[in-house]
């Protein structure tokens, strides 16, 4: 796929977002493609689109990785999530969902992964726990858990700072089990006045916790992107 076709598809997604009040589209540039602490490629453009249906209880969307060197999409993902009703006063939110990871041009089946996630907040800090289990492809019978913390603060009227940390635990079908990595990140969100655009600049640092479980090949990477709400 050429860069021109990529730009055209992104423009279509932006147009669809403008017509759907609950939708958003995001396009990021990343210096390295890293997923759950594992290095998967160099500079990439990563577009994503999601929206909510059924009164906001269900989210559906797609995400892709466009490799700049090859000018091709090497990954396209599809996902949905359902918010489990827990009551207005519940301190914990629950979501169950499914993600399918496809790899255009590659051999083998798609990776398939249902999940359940729990989220809450304490002292202004967002806390989340995700549990993911592979049921197809290269991740079949592999369990992944991630505990995340997030904190955000407004620095100015149109400027926000976000800090986050995530600890991953991997139990693969084959190989060593244990804590795979620790991710630390910081990002600045800049809301463009009189528009629906937000520009984000982020920096991520990945800490290797156990090289027998997973080696970290890329310590630092940065992201710059925009979101149309």
Rounded distance between C-alpha atoms, residue 169 and residue 36, angstroms: 10
Whether residue 16 has pLDDT greater than 50: no
> Where are the chain's structural domains?
3-228
Q: Which CATH superfamily is domain 3-228 in?
A: Nucleoside-specific channel-forming protein, Tsx-like (2.40.230.20)
**Per-residue pLDDT at 161 exceeds 80:** yes
What is the distance between the terminal CA atoms of the chain, rounded to a whole angstrom?
27
Over range 40-65, report the average pLDDT: 94
pLDDT at 22: 67
More reliable by pLDDT, 191 or 2: 191
pLDDT for 79 equals 97
- Reported residue count of the chain is 229
């Amino acid at each position: 796929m050429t860069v021109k076709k990529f730009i055209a598809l992104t423009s279509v997604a932006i147009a669809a977002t403008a017509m759907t009040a609950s939708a958003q589209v995001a396009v990021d540039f990343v210096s390295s493609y890293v997923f759950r602490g594992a290095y998967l490629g160099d500079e990439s453009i990563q577009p994503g689109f999601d929206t909510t249906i059924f009164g906001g209880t269900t989210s559906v969307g797609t995400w892709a990785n466009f490799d700049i060197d090859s000018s091709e999409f090497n990954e396209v993902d599809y996902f949905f999530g359902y918010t489990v009703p827990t009551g207005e006063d519940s301190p914990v939110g629950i979501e169950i969902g499914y993600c399918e990871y496809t790899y255009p041009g590659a051999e083998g089946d798609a990776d398939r992964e249902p999940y359940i996630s729990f989220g809450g907040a304490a002292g202004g800090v967002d806390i989340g726990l995700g549990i993911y289990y592979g049921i197809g492809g290269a991740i079949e019978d592999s369990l992944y858990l991630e505990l995340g913390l997030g904190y955000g603060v407004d620095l100015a009227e149109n400027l926000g700072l976000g800090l986050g940390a995530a600890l991953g635990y991997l139990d693969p079908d084959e190989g060593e089990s244990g804590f795979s990595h620790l991710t630390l990140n910081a990002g600045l969100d800049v809301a463009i006045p009189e528009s629906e655009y937000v520009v984000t600049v982020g920096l991520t640092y990945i800490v290797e916790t156990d090289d027998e479980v997973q080696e970290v090949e890329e310590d630092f990477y940065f992201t710059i992107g925009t979101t149309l709400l």
